[in-house]
Chains A and B, each alone.
Chain A
């Protein structure tokens, strides 16, 4: 049995840790809407691959990156703000995902198709573990090697550029890694809920400390905890794994929001005022 669930267990651990790590960057860059759109674009790509009978990894990755790549040019062309463009891309990718699944009627409601929506314990293979392991290693390596450049970009992009830091390539590298994380996590957590793993552990960590360095340790730990606890819940209570992980991450966020020293500070300031 362990041979069957070990890839899922490791995926939950790696997916949570990587999502927490990169989620801290995405949160700071206020990319939550982009993360949301990328997750659903990955879902659409996987659905297309499912319809065409191809392996989902490459197409979902291309779809996720395409959303990030299209954002700037579409915003420029239409003159709309980025969040409005994302509000267009989000339903577009969702609709495409549903369409591609509907176009494969013989399989539309089979287990592999539903896996794309809310994940599966058994849908995960060693290839997903390898992808997630590689993305975690690449993300950690990138954030360690370029710690100063990433930090400066996260604090204030214009000042980073003025200091001679290539903020745009840094941003692109982060988006690339976020896309890879989303894709690697898709089969375990599902296209509808991967977003929760990307932002909730990072948000919970940001409730506890203002220091980015501490958030970079805390968020992956909380992400891994969400992944493992959600996995355990799913396994023992026979619940969908994506749902269990998302609910665990929500629970941790609520707990840390309640304990947050930042919240207490805000309350004290409001009281003084």
Chain B
């Protein structure tokens, strides 16, 4: 099957950053697969997601849906849902839950175009799916961390995303919220979404189709049925 998401010898550096964050990273994911990126902090995991979204300039080939990201940023972003790392809205964030979900579609509307009613219905049903319909009018910052993550998943659903990029989705969540969120992510995989997630936890590992160790800007495919403890045992002696 043709990969839906592919990096080939990708080098990337942040403007003004000290050196390259990616040094020839390669990976690919077929449609409906769950891929995981594991590795120490600062290894380049987030950069891989940001390259796929066209946030970071790169050399090499980065393709999603068969399109080179650097040449088709707008088109690619329309079809990707993204959970940024450590994004928690403060209580005074000027945004309601429903508005956050609707925001995912704003880029596809002309400035003078009114928001179609179907969009609102679609957003509400996405929130309902994650048990947040009753909190649609709540300020997003008044939701718990796990609920905020689910609202971002609902946003990706309402947007019609075909690929989900999740950057440490379980960070700062309690064990129960982690389990709930993992189940929500796996349900989305079962419905046919392709998911690439940066994780430090075991929750998704058992169901992953592929896993990659990211270290010093390079990627290395990991064997299936690997446990994170084994990966860390391999990584730690190299020391970072």
Contact = CB atoms under 8 A, between A and B. Distances in A.
A155 interface: yes
Nearest to A209: B94
B99 to A, nearest CB: 8
B104 interface: yes
Interface in B77-136: 77-78, 80-82, 84, 87, 89, 92-95, 100, 103-109, 111-112, 115
A259 interface: no
Given A155-B94, A262-B92, A162 B53 contact: yes
Contact of A163 (B15, B94, B103): B103
A148 B109 contact: yes
Nearest to B109: A148
Contacts of A149: 106, 111
B79 to A, nearest CB: 10
Nearest to B16: A76
A210 B139 contact: yes
Contacts of B226: none
Residue of A146, A148, A149, A151 most packed against chain B (CB within 10 A): A148
A211 B84 contact: no
B143 to A, nearest CB: 14
Contacts of B111: 145-146, 148-149
A83 interface: no
Interface string B39-56: 000000000000001010
B200 to A, nearest CB: 20
Contacts, number: 75
Given A149-B111, A163-B159, A155 B77 contact: no
Contacts of B89: 156
Contacts of A161: 53, 55, 77
Interface string B152-171: 00010001000000000000
A148 to B, nearest CB: 5
A75 interface: yes
Contacts of A165: 106-107
Interface in A79-104: 79
B85 to A, nearest CB: 9
B114 to A, nearest CB: 10
Nearest to A142: B111
B224 to A, nearest CB: 30
A154 interface: yes
B contact residues, range = 20 to 34
Contact of B80 (A75, A154, A155, A162): A162
A212 interface: yes
A165 B100 CA distance: 14
A154 B111 CA distance: 16
Contacts of B108: 164
B18 interface: yes
Nearest to B139: A210
B173 interface: no
A31 to B, nearest CB: 16
A173 interface: no
A77 B18 CA distance: 10
Given A75-B16, A159-B82, A212 B94 contact: yes
B231 interface: no
Q: Which 8 pairs, one residue from A and one from B, show the smallest C-beta to C-beta distance?
A: A164-B107, A76-B16, A212-B94, A163-B107, A162-B82, A148-B106, A155-B95, A165-B107
13 contacts: A28-B94, A79-B18, A148-B115, A149-B106, A152-B103, A158-B82, A159-B84, A163-B103, A163-B104, A164-B77, A165-B106, A212-B94, A262-B92
Interface of B: 15-16, 18, 53, 55, 74, 77-78, 80-82, 84, 87, 89, 92-95, 100, 103-109, 111-112, 115, 139, 155, 159
Given A156-B84, A158-B87, 19 more contacts: A75-B16, A76-B15, A77-B16, A152-B106, A155-B103, A158-B55, A159-B104, A160-B103, A161-B53, A162-B77, A162-B81, A163-B77, A163-B105, A163-B107, A164-B74, A165-B106, A165-B107, A210-B92, A212-B94
